[in-house]
Chains A and B, each alone.
Chain A
Amino acid sequence: MLFASCAPETCARRTCPPRPRPAGHPGSDMTAHSFALPVIIFTTFWGLIGIAGPWFVPKGPNRGVIITMLVATAVCCYLFWLIAILAQLNPLFGPQLKNETIWYVRFLWE
């Protein structure tokens, strides 16, 4: 069940062949996730739906209900996403992985 391309014997060396790494991230070449960018994107997105959307609802008997639905959807979905991202902003502990998982994820997710 070990990942076929990375048998333990070939990786007995402590270090893998050096690869160019972005500065500040020793040991991996994964780029950091920014926090500001998703916040801006999603705030804009749900803001458009919840604040700008109501202006474009055509006049008719159902206008009030549709506006209520748009605003409620925007508030609920934005809030839910925001809670999810804030909860992971400053983790106090990390995931505990099985050694099998570590063996393959360490090379798979790079």
Chain B
Amino acid sequence: MGSMFRGEEVALVQLFLPTAAAYTCVSQLGELGLVEFRDLNASVSAFQRRFVVDVRRCEELEKTFTFLQEEVRRAGLALPLPVGRLPAPPPRDLLRIQEETDRLAQELRDVRGNQQELRAQLHQLQLHEAVLGQSHGPPLAAAHTDGPSSERSPLLLPPGGPHQDLKVNFVAGAVEPHKAAALERLLWRACRGFLIASFQEMEQQLEDPVTGEPTRWMTFLISYWGEQIGQKIRKITACFHCHIFPFLEPEEARRGALQQLQQQSQELQEVLGETERFLSQVLGRVQQLLPAGQMQIRKMKAVYLALNQCSVSSTHKCLIAEAWCAVLDLPTLQQVLQDSSSEAGVSAVAHRIPCQDMPPTLIRTNRFTASFQGIVDAYGVGRYQEVNPAPYTIITFPFLFAVMFGDVGHGLLMFLFALAMVLAENRPAVKAAQNEIWQTFFGGRYLLLLMGLFSVYTGFIYNECFSRATTIFPSGWSVAAMANQSGWSDAYLARHSLLTLDPNISGVFLGPYPFGIDPVWSLATNHLSFLNSFKMKMSVILGVIHMAFGVILGVFNHVHFGQGHKLLLETLPELIFLLGLFGYLVFLVLYKWLCVKAADSASAPSILIHFINMFLFSSSPTNRPLYHAQEVVQYVLVVLALASVPVLLLGTPLYLLRRQRHLQRRPAGGQDEDKAKLMDSDACESGWGPDEKAGCSGDEKEAELIASEVFMHQAIHTIEFCLGCISNTASYLRLWALSLAHAQLSEVLWAMVMRVALSANLRVGVQAVVLVPVFAAFAVLTVAILLVMEGLSAFLHALRLHWVEFQNKFYSGTGYKLSPFTFAAEDE
């Protein structure tokens, strides 16, 4: 792993692959993941590329694999993971794999088809059995009487006559339960008076052969008289997709039929069992074949897709590929190509070619630095060889988070949680977890570890542990001294509910607390007055230092890309502006902290008023100066800062235009020389610097500078920087705001939950029992509100401070990552 300071050097290489060995070479390159292929056939559609037939065959195989996978899943079996790393199979194996897979698929389809048929037959038999087996009272009873009873005879038909010799017929069958009510209703409406129907639910549930769901069918027995009624009934039942079975009147005949049916269904079940055993055998073979096959075909398809991106040489003897490769990996690349093409007569070669396009960015990370590089890349991948903010982010991001989150207890909980994840990171159960939220936390475990650690530190400085202060050292404020010297008798104290300690009285203030905020402030009612002032000034100090650091990082970019003029024309004015104004503000803060003592507190100068007056070139009579000659110094600084703005605005564009005019005015011979010199220094390294746009074509002329564009670009940069200085400095005040919010939330939780339980005047035993649920509530609310919600909030704001306020001083983030051709991503 190289340094993370800036991206690695990446070169464009041209590969000559002999046709016979091309497949093996690319497959080996895929195993190692060294190069990113460039598509040389971008103008050709996917259907016209060279290896489209092979790709299509792979895709068909993949379709078959999907079918097999679905079948395995339906049977409730799991596919084992492929063991070991199988390379892409050589092309001649494709046919073999294809035949095997097709054969298996066909067998599976046949067996499944048989199984379905048998199941359907069994279903029918079972329905028939049920229909015959269940006794339906009323219709059978009706059969024993001769004809209809008098009350059922339709009134309009003449009595007697054709009724007496009407025979009762039966329709027996089974209907799905949700249709039964509708069927009954329709029968009654259509054939009222001429039938007796009885519906009964079956005792056992039958599995539907198609869907596999158990349902209870309803059997029915309809006794009717009259031919036309019979036809109507049959039509209606056919409409409802009922299964109709022949119903024999005599009891014994029915019994005989039932026995026959039972025998048949038993035989059928045996056959079904055999079929299912064979099916599981086939599925077992599929399980063995499928994982390896899938992986191999996936790799094969990827190799063909990569080969499709290569162009064919004029002699049709080799393929030419262009790929991006890290310069450090070039020897490995040569070695791999030689090894892979050793069987073919000609060996594959790779050589570097010059490039005009901006190469991709490659920054190698390990599992610790990956999460930090990830949050930088989420904003934007850096341009080629731009300074990488990630190594500094490893520390400054958790630090700024901790400034907003500072609490020993909460930090410790976060640290322990992250430590547990880190220590358990190699366990397979942890790696295989599918929950997305867990994956997010697990991926950021090192981030959380550092965040927790820094939070413990800032918690000690803020002197907050679950909002309680600790007195590790004795406090620097002596209440006794104040009380004794101001005559605070008990009567006096009883009269005054709030009293202030005065640092002017000797012995009251004994010196600054050596590590952090004095614990007396946590007892004070005016603690926010002190803490707000402290935290606001702290935010501004941290912000100005962070931003100045960002501007200084830009120096490395200018030097690396050969834009030395920018050091004088951009970095210097930027630093003057930033430090002259806001650096001076930091100086004022520090000066006041060091030099304005308690004795002068009544007439203490206000930094805010001084700062405002500095810009307005005025002064307030009531605000005394901090130091002698303050006005002069401020005047000079403001003038310097204002003077640096036009330098920033016009310096670089004028310089670039002047340089271009110089070149154009030189004679022709010298022109080429100069151009060549300029090309060397500008093209390959600074051709993609932020200002000059070196096109991918046209290397005869240097980048044509269009004056208006250059001026516009610089104007935008100037406005962004100058206004940004002010707004970004103010933006750092969120460090104050969020730490205040965290402290207050924590305090409220303690006061409203735990203190209520601890100060309830109950008997010792009862209070102990009451404390248990109260502590549970406290713990749940601490985790939910203070750890999760505040943690996410502080995380977000720290991220914003990095992405916007820090990175816009030097980072452009408009590059793209080197995504090498690899099978690794597909193995997961």
Please give the residue numbers on chain A whose beta carbons come within 8 Å of chain B beta carbons, in ascending order: 8, 11-12, 14-15, 24-28, 30-35, 37-38, 61-62, 64-65, 68-69, 72-73, 76-77, 79-81, 83-99, 101-103, 105-107, 109-110
Choice from A68, A90, A106 contacting B483 with Cβ under 8 Å: A106
A79-B498 contact, Cβ under 8 Å, with A34-B511, A95-B524, A96-B525: no
The answer to whether A8 touches B490, judged by C-beta atoms less than 8 angstroms apart, is: yes
- Interface presence of B638 (CB below 8 A): no
Determine whether B659 belongs to the interface, using a CB cutoff of 8 Å to chain A.
no
Chain A residue at minimal CB-CB distance from B462: A84
A88 with B545: CB separation less than 8 A = no
Q: What are 7 contact pairs spanning A and B, CB under 8 A?
A: A25-B510, A28-B481, A35-B512, A37-B514, A83-B541, A88-B512, A109-B474
Partner of B523, one of A72, A84, A85, A95: A95
Answer whether A94 and B485 are a contact pair too, CB < 8 Å, given A26-B506, A69-B395, A87-B538. Answer: no
For the complex, is B191 an interface residue (Cβ under 8 Å from A)? no
Evaluate contact between A68 and B509: CB separation under 8 angstroms. Answer: no
Which residues of B sit under 8 angstroms from A25, Cβ to Cβ? 478, 481, 506-507, 510
Interface pair B3/A84, CB less than 8 Å apart:
no
Cα distance A44–B509 in the bound complex, in angstroms: 26
Residues of A within 8 A of B537 (CB): 83, 87
Chain B residue total in the interface (Cβ 8 A): 83
The answer to whether A76 touches B399 (Cβ under 8 A) is: yes
B369 contacts the other chain (CB 8 A) = yes
How far, in angstroms, from A77 to B506 measured CA to CA in the complex? 32
List the B side residues contacting A97 at CB < 8 Å. 479, 498-501, 520, 523-525
The reply to whether A89 and B518 form a contact with Cβ atoms under 8 Å apart is no
Complex interface: chain B residues within 8 A of A81 (CB): 461, 515-516
Bound CA–CA A79/B85 (angstroms): 51
Residue in contact with A92 in the complex, picked from B511, B525, B598, CB distance below 8 Å: B598
A38-B601 in contact given A28-B478, A30-B478, A95-B501 (Cβ < 8 Å): no
A93 touches B488 (CB 8 A): no
Among the listed B1, B480, B593, B598, which residue makes an inter-chain contact with A28, where contact means beta carbons less than 8 Å apart? B480
Flag whether B2 is at the interface (Cβ < 8 A): yes
Instruction: Give chain A residues whose Cβ lies under 8 Å from the Cβ of B485.
Output: 26-27
Given A32-B510, A94-B503, A94-B509, A102:B517 Cβ within 8 A = no
Q: Is the CB of A109 within 8 A of B479?
A: yes
Given contacts A79-B542, A96-B525, A106-B483, contact A33 B391 (CB under 8 A): no
Residue with the greatest number of chain B CB neighbours at <10 A, chosen from A28, A89, A103: A28
Contacts of B498 in A (CB 8 A): 96-99
Complex CA distance for A72 and B533, rounded to whole angstroms: 26
Q: How far is the CB of A8 from chain B (nearest CB, A)?
A: 5
**What is the CA–CA distance of A110 and B533 in the complex, to the nearest angstrom?**
29
B500 touches A95 (CB 8 A): yes
**Interface: B440 (CB within 8 A):** no
Please, which residues of chain B bring their CB within 8 A of the CB of A98?
497-498, 525
In the assembled complex, the CB of A4 is this many whole angstroms from the nearest CB of chain B, namely 14
- From B394, B484, B501, B534, contact of A94 by CB (8 A): B501
Looking across the interface, which residue of chain A has its beta carbon closest to that of B538?
A83
Asked whether any CB of chain A lies closer than 8 Å to the CB of B140, the reply is no
B575-591: which residues lie under 8 A (CB-CB) from chain A? 590
The answer to whether residues A26 and B501 also contact, given A76-B396, A92-B601, A102-B483 and a CB cut-off of 8 A, is: no
B529 interface contact, C-beta 8 A: yes
Q: Once the chains bind, are B391 and A27 in contact (CB under 8 Å)?
A: no
CB distance from A82 to the nearest CB of B (A): 9
A38→B514 CA distance, assembly (Å): 6
Cβ of A105: which chain B residues have Cβ within 8 Å of it?
A: 479, 520, 523
Contact A102 B493 (CB under 8 A): yes
Out of A35, A65, A102, A109, name the residue touching B369 (CB < 8 Å): A65
Docked-complex contact A95 and B521, CB < 8 angstroms: yes
A31 close to B510 (CB less than 8 A): yes
Closest-by-CB residue of A relative to B545 is: A79
Contact B395 A99 (CB under 8 A): no
Q: Considering the complex of A and B, which 10 residue pairs feature the smallest CB-CB distances, nearest first?
A: A33-B511, A95-B524, A94-B501, A27-B484, A72-B395, A27-B481, A38-B514, A92-B601, A88-B512, A28-B481
- B481 near A26 with CB under 8 A, answer yes
- A88 nearest in chain B by CB position: B512
Tell whether, in the assembled complex, residue B484 and residue A26 are in contact, meaning their CB atoms are under 8 Å apart: yes
Q: Are B499 and A102 in contact (CB under 8 A)?
A: yes
Expressed in whole angstroms, the minimum distance between the Cβ of A53 and any Cβ of chain B is 13
Tell me if B764 is interfacial: C-beta within 8 Å of chain A: no
B47 within 8 A of A: no
- Determine whether the beta carbon of B493 is less than 8 Å from that of A103: yes
The answer to whether B499 and A109 have CB atoms under 8 Å apart is no
**Contact across chains for B479 and A102 when beta carbons are under 8 A apart:** yes
**A38-B524 in contact given A27-B483, A99-B493 (Cβ < 8 Å):** no
Which of B4, B369, B512, B590: most chain A Cβ within 10 A? Answer: B512
Residues of chain B within 8 A (CB-CB) of A69 are 391, 394-395
| B487 CB–A CB distance under 8 Å | yes
Given A32-B510, A69-B394, A95-B520, A86 contacting B594 (CB threshold 8 A): yes
In the complex, what's the smallest C-beta–C-beta distance from B250 to chain A, in angstroms? 94
Contact check, A72 vs B396: say whether CB atoms are below 8 A apart. yes
| Distance between Cα atoms of A15 and B498 in the complex (Å) | 21
Cα separation A31 to B520 with both chains bound (whole Å): 16
Asked if residues B480 and A106 are in contact (CB atoms below 8 Å), the reply is yes
Cα distance, A12 to B493, chains bound together (Å): 11
* A94 in contact with B596 (CB, 8 Å): no
In the complex, A101 Cα to B369 Cα: how many Å?
A: 49
Name B601's contact: one of A31, A72, A93, A96 (CB within 8 Å): A93
A85 touches B512 (CB 8 A): yes
Of B5, B477, B596, the contact of A90 (CB 8 Å cutoff): B596
Residue in B2, B499, B508 whose Cβ sees the most chain A Cβ within 10 Å: B499
> How far, in Å, is B754 (CB) from chain A's closest CB?
17
Does B597 count as interface, using CB distance less than 8 angstroms? yes
Query: Is the CB–CB distance between B507 and A87 below 8 Å?
Result: no
A31-B488 Cα distance, complex, nearest whole Å: 22
| Complex interface: chain A residues within 8 A of B479 (CB) | 97, 102, 105-106, 109
Q: Does B473 interact with chain A (Cβ within 8 Å)?
A: yes
Query: In the bound complex, what is the Cα–Cα distance between A12 and B580 (angstroms)?
Result: 59
List residues of chain A with CB within 8 A of the CB of B595: 90
Contacts known (A64-B3, A96-B526, A99-B498); A15 close to B484, Cβ less than 8 A: yes
Compute how far the CA of A92 lies from the CA of B502 in the bound complex, rounded to whole angstroms. 9
Q: How far is the CB of A51 from chain B (nearest CB, A)?
A: 16
In the bound complex, how far is the Cα of B479 from the Cα of A83, in angstroms? 25
